[in-house]
Structure 1
Amino acid sequence: MVVKFTVDLNKPLVSQVGHLGEAYDEWVHQPIISKEGPRFFGNDYMEMFTRTRWWVIPLVWLPVISCLVLLSIQRGLAPAETAIAAVSGIFIWTLMEYSLHRFLFHMKTESYWANTFHYLLHGCHHKHPMDSLRLVFPPVATAILCVPFWSFFRVLSTPSVTPALFGGVLMGYVMYDLTHYYLHHGQPSTGVSKKLKSYHLNHHFRLQTMGFGITSSFWDIVFGTKPPPKATEKSG
């Protein structure tokens, strides 16, 4: 008789979730609604690096974005062309946002290390959606991910365009992270923000296999993953 593994929520979770195997996907999509996040690691130093306050994101990345835009101008790109490159980068980010959320953040995993990686990447957010200190992405992790994307954009564009284009992508990311935080912890009462909050919470608590856009439903419409108006079925 095979005994199913049970996660002890009173102990550090990262070392446990991998043992769930194929049961991980169902477990991680059963949210626990609490403002207090779980313990990830037994080591206090490692635990500290899993927590990030929302204001750290603009504090770290807005100066970087400004430097990238100025670099394009210094390399001879006209201000109007720089603005176009930056806006294009923001638009590219919206597709990246959708694609990462749909295909990476919601990939199905079963092995120990794949489950552990997914939990650290996005699973923890679905399990504890109101954990405010693990909602935005830690800057160190973002910086590491920037390296391959920067290399990719260098291949696609000229030396003068690349900084502004990538700066736009980073700006789109900052807008995404701050919007995502607000949709969970803000209290919009009217307008676009209220609709976005309802749209995103529908993804968390009803149809988790649809509604992957955070800042916009545009790509959900394009790729047919926009939830029906009255989606009530919960899907893992």
Structure 2
Amino acid sequence: MVVQEFTVDLNKPLVFQVGHLEERYQEWVHQPIVSKEGPRFFGNDVLEELVLMALFGIFIWTLIEYTLHRFLFHIETKTYWTNTAHYLLHGCHHKHPMDSLRLVFPPTATAILCFPFWNLVAFFATPSTTPALFGGGLLGYVMYDCTHYYLHHGQPSKDPAKRLKRYHLNHHFRIQDKGFGITSTLWDTVFGSLSPSTTGKKN
């Protein structure tokens, strides 16, 4: 009796099919399909939507990351209390950029801020998509924090990490009013705050 090998049906949801390929999976996954249409991952319509919402949440986080860094963390202050608040918020990181103990936002503060962010997401999203959208944003935040720490204390030898490290340290040590993106240069490009070292311009 000949056992027929499992074949992935590209017209059906893929996620729970690919495991059946077993040792043939590596060969299958490295044969690209050149198409602008994305595949369906899940058969359940709600689950399929939730995956897209989570990815959208990560994307939205990158914009929040850029906006906070550029317009809040780099706000100009002059008075005693605003200077003090800014130093605690972000100034200490610029003054002592290699201080590993004050590089990551305190987890307790993050947990507290989750409540208003959850309510904000719930205001704009539907009850069924709020958890995925919020979860995607939270995952984006964790990715940002890990990336930021690595750019300061890791020694990447290959791009894109090596390029991002150079870009971020340029923001700290050379041109502090440009290059606000941490995980990417996307929003710096969109809003015209790309560091001159990236654009090829000289100071």
TM-score, with length taken from structure 2? 0.75
Aligned partner of 2:180 in structure 1 is: 212
Q: Does 1:161 align with 2:129?
A: yes
Q: 2:58 aligns with which of 86, 90, 104?
A: 90
Distance (Å, rounded) in 2 between the aligned partners of 1:98 and 1:153? 18
Q: Which has the larger radius of gyration?
A: 2
Displacement after TM superposition at 1:191 (Å): 1.3
> Secondary structure at 1:191's aligned position in 2?
coil
- Write the mapping of 1:211-230 to structure 2, written as runs, cut at 5 A: 211-229=179-197
Whole-Å Cα distance in 2 between the matches of residues 223 and 183 of structure 1? 23
Q: Is the alpha carbon distance of 1:202 and 1:231 closer, same or farther for their aligned partners in structure 2, counting shifts above 3 Å? A: farther
Query: How many residues are treated as equivalent by the alignment?
Result: 158
- Please give the alpha-carbon distance, in whole angstroms, between the structure 1 residues aligned to 2:181 and 2:201: 16
Native 8 Å contact 2:196 2:202 kept in 1: no
How far, CA to CA, are the matches of 1:144 and 1:120 in structure 2? Answer: 17
Q: 2:170: which partner in 1? A: 202
- Looking at both structures, which has the greater relative contact order when contacts are Cα pairs under 8 Å and sequence separation is at least 6? 1
RMSD: 1.5
List alignment gaps of at least 5 residues for structure 1: 1-75
Distance in structure 2 (CA, Å) of the matches to 1:226 and 1:206: 13
- Provide the C-alpha distance between the structure 2 equivalents of 1:133 and 1:187, rounded to a whole number of angstroms: 18
Displacement after TM superposition at 1:222 (Å) = 0.1
Partner of 2:97: 129
Aligned twin of 1:144: 112
* Inter-CA distance 77–101: structure 2 relative to 1 (3 Å threshold): farther
Q: Compute the displacement of 1:202 (Å).
A: 0.4
Distance 1:121 1:166 in 2: 24
User: What is the aligned counterpart of 1:114 among 72, 82, 88?
Assistant: 82
CA contact (8 A) 1:206 1:231 kept: no
**How far is 1:232 from its partner?**
6.4
The list of structure 1 runs, each at least 4 consecutive aligned residues, that deviate by more than 6 angstroms after superposition, is: none
- What is the aligned partner in structure 1 of residue 71 from structure 2? 103
Offset at residue 111 of structure 1 (A): 1.4
Equivalent of 2:154 in 186, 193, 196 = 186
| Conserved 8 A contact 1:85-1:161 | yes
Q: TM-score, normalised by structure 1?
A: 0.64
1:77 deviates by 7.1
CA contact (8 A) 2:53 2:133 kept: yes
Deviations 1:133-188 (A, max 9, x none): 11011011112222222111111011111111001000000000000000000001
Unaligned 5+ runs, structure 2: 1-43
> Following the alignment from structure 1 to structure 2, what is the Cα–Cα distance between the partners of residues 231 and 112?
37
**Structure 1 residues 106-115 or 84-93, which shifts more?**
106-115
What letter matches 1:144 in structure 2? Answer: I
Partners in 2 of 1:145 and 1:164 — Cα distance? 17
The answer as to whether partners of 1:77 and 1:160 remain within 8 angstroms in 2 is no
